[in-house]
A and B are shown apart, each in its own frame.
Chain A
């Protein structure tokens, strides 16, 4: 690792703390991922990506920036990746999945802010996220009150925030606002990158992003098999890596893994035994390295078969049309594609309920675990609606954060839930 010290130093990272973070990550990965049995061979690529998460990938971005590309940081699946790529930018989902720099973050944010928001603040203030340092622009969005207020302070600290005004409803007025916001982002990206975004460039970029989505959809569909050919943990990791890896390479490697999984499904090879309780996880995003719930579920004997989440189906469910009739048409189509996303920040948001039921049926789930980050008002509230929609279907509501202090409590609830699910399967 030491060959990156110079690079990290130049990026302004706190080297001793950063080394501590990497050691912690390495140990967590060893304990949670590498102890899994019967993993597909194709996971080796993703293991490698994780082992180089702050190393090789950062070096690639540093080199690309030296060659004139710009790094565009994001926190949310509403930020159109097509526009970033069309501006010759590098799309980077920023670090927000570990309990880091909390005391520093709490100098700006109330204590009862969700772990994800505290984490992106903490990573920055503790100088532990190299990704933030290789961005030229960070695009935020008005998805929730916590983020809105956090971005104000984050903008003062970083001096490179651009906020997209996401409407609260999908009304005609809301759509018009969003269409204008997509156009405003286009102009901002053009200013930052110096690249003119044309319909042709957008068509090319859309193809790249859609190919990535198709590969993720393919992975999702393969998990409908019983036994499921890949663990939920591994699939979650792939969905997390999708936010910062090079898209072309990622898609190629994921398709290669899916080829292997095709064979596994044919031969009925799985990671969990046939008949293991199949669980769909639904709710708040799980940013890397937040593997807590999947780990607890799968070490209790469940097979996680899907993520109804931003780090999951919300990111890849819809494709963008690939043929554009000029730039205005392209922006309209892209804006519309992003408004199909069923985030709890919209009201009403009934399509999310429909999508959960659809995923449950397609993936043949035996139970749903609703995951909400503590203090995430939007998803904790929708948890009640989801429970009502599912009627008697096995449902467990979990509200937690990144700390492990409630792991024992959660394990009891998860084990009881799985016992309940197994009883129903009998």
Chain B
């Protein structure tokens, strides 16, 4: 029977279908206000399979689909190993949370850290900042901003950082250097989280923020190590859930 991994995140639902140890389908949609309805619709488009849910909505899915659940942390560890067996450290920066996980050769979690109440420096933070700068996510995460590092952002809090951005614009700072500063701050947050578990190579960057080239570059620089980034980093949790026994 095929296996289905359902990752119900704060921002997006990601679904991975695995058959015979190979990925045969990937689906992604915004979680919206009724994530279970969306899950049902997305699942209807796939062949029947054994479902395992992860992400914030996992316990909702547990009731709705009477399926097994697994925490995001174990799911990301397994998923990362599926994409690259040499992985020993996984850094996931998702919509509202970030985690750093150390894994052994078998994909088992040895140690992990996760952000607590505050979502500063995560995907949602970057999205709000891009909007404040009136940039698309592609424009915002352009690695060429690296040549424009002239300002600093001091606020970790999303609300205050947004006002800081507005006042920087008012003072005539250019958008590219503000974008750079914001990414650097997010990278600093992620690297200090990773520092608490001790970074061991190879290091994989997973989650939606791995798609942001400027963020990935600045994080790699701060960690002093290259980062493995898969073709579908936002599906790491869904694939890991599908692989859960």
Contacts and interface: CB of A to CB of B under 8 A. Distances in A.
Interface string B54-79: 00100000000000011111100000
B74 A416 contact: yes
Interface size class of A (residues with CB under 8 A): 10 to 19
Contact of B74 (A399, A405, A406, A419): A419
Q: Is the interface of A mostly helix, strand, loop or mixed?
A: helix
A222 to B, nearest CB: 31
Contact of B97 (A405, A409, A419, A420): A409
A420 B117 contact: no
A375 to B, nearest CB: 13
B186 to A, nearest CB: 19
A392 B117 CA distance: 26
Interface string A369-412: 00000000000000000000000100000011000011011001
Contacts of B231: none
Contacts, number: 45
Interface of B: 56, 69-74, 97, 108-110, 112, 114-117
A413 B116 CA distance: 10
A19 interface: no
A415 interface: yes
A33 B69 CA distance: 25
B97 A416 contact: no
A419 B71 contact: yes
A423 interface: yes
Given A409-B97, A409-B117, A415 B71 contact: yes
Given A412-B73, A413-B73, 19 more contacts: A392-B110, A399-B116, A400-B116, A405-B117, A406-B116, A406-B117, A408-B56, A409-B114, A409-B115, A409-B116, A412-B56, A412-B72, A412-B114, A415-B69, A415-B71, A419-B71, A419-B73, A419-B109, A420-B73
A373 to B, nearest CB: 13
Contacts of A415: 69, 71
Nearest to B73: A416
Contacts of A392: 110
28 contacts: A392-B110, A399-B116, A400-B116, A405-B117, A406-B116, A406-B117, A408-B56, A409-B114, A409-B115, A409-B116, A412-B56, A412-B71, A412-B72, A412-B73, A413-B73, A413-B114, A415-B71, A416-B72, A416-B74, A416-B109, A416-B112, A419-B70, A419-B71, A420-B74, A420-B108, A420-B110, A423-B109, A424-B108
